[in-house]
Structure 1
Amino acid sequence: MPSPTIDTLDRIVAFLNQIGIATREGEVPADAFLPGVRVHEGGLIFDRAALRWPGDLLHEAGHLAVAPPALRAQLSGDIELPADIPHASEIEATAWAWAALCHLGLEPSILFHEGGYHGRSEGLIRTYSLGVHPGAFGLAQIGLTHAGAANPSSGVPAYPHMTQWLRQA
């Protein structure tokens, strides 16, 4: 039986590939921004042996997902989108990653692990678990979800349910 970490990683990779974020195993330099993860030409490369936290793939995918499509394919390395692109910041990438985590049915500590988020992982787990969703409004503004309460007349649930996974404009 595979270890939970391998199963979790494989589930994340399959999901990302399914939604259109090309994710593959490959060589990642030791000085990469995150251990074992590299953004390359709008996709993700991971080194299974060096990857410390599979949830880092979700967070980096969040940055790619909220980037405008014309810019997405050009992104490589440490992603920093121009400040003048609305709703494509760290907060939206984190909210996107939380929605993906919920969609996959994974534990919050997979995303908000002890090695990330500048020591604020426990607080972020508490915040998102209590239904406070920083960044969800921005995701709604770019058409990825509905913020606030679910709209019963439309039948579309609200965040963390996503109506689409990649920004279209």
Structure 2
Amino acid sequence: MELIGTNISLKLFNESDWPLALHLSTDPTLMKHVYDPFTEQEARAKFEAKLSPWTKDSETWLSLSINGNKTGEKLGSIGLKITNPDACIAEIGFMLKTSAQGKGYGFEALCLIRDYAFNTLTLNKLCATCASQNMGSYKLLEKAGFTREGQLKHNAFIGGEFIDDYLYGLCQQDR
């Protein structure tokens, strides 16, 4: 599977994505609003799970690398996981290398996976959770049409602190 946009393409994770996955999951700056950085062993276990074949009935994430069309550079990752098959709802998540942030790649990736989710998978709703301090992520979600639906107080514990999360949603009929 490959989703091709103007500047980027999304490709199923494969073994060649290991250096990207290791970088994204162990970099303290990137993980600041997500989790405490993983060890290499933890990162490898999470990565291995992302290599599993995926179908709409899978209980795992559809994991895709974000790749620059001109350079082939691996810029980040994006994925979705069906969280409520009966209501056709999926959670989405994304992460970009610092060098790829602020250049429109995240927005294009989010739009590609959003359109795939609604048009191909015929999902009803997409949801996302992000730290209330992660302005880059929530501004990107809002730009892509997501609406803030709530806030969860002290929903995560990262870096020795309790973190509030925002909940975002986008229904197929509202896009």
- Give the structure-2-normalised TM-score: 0.32
Select the structure that is richer in helix.
1
> What TM-score comes out, normalization by structure 1 length?
0.32
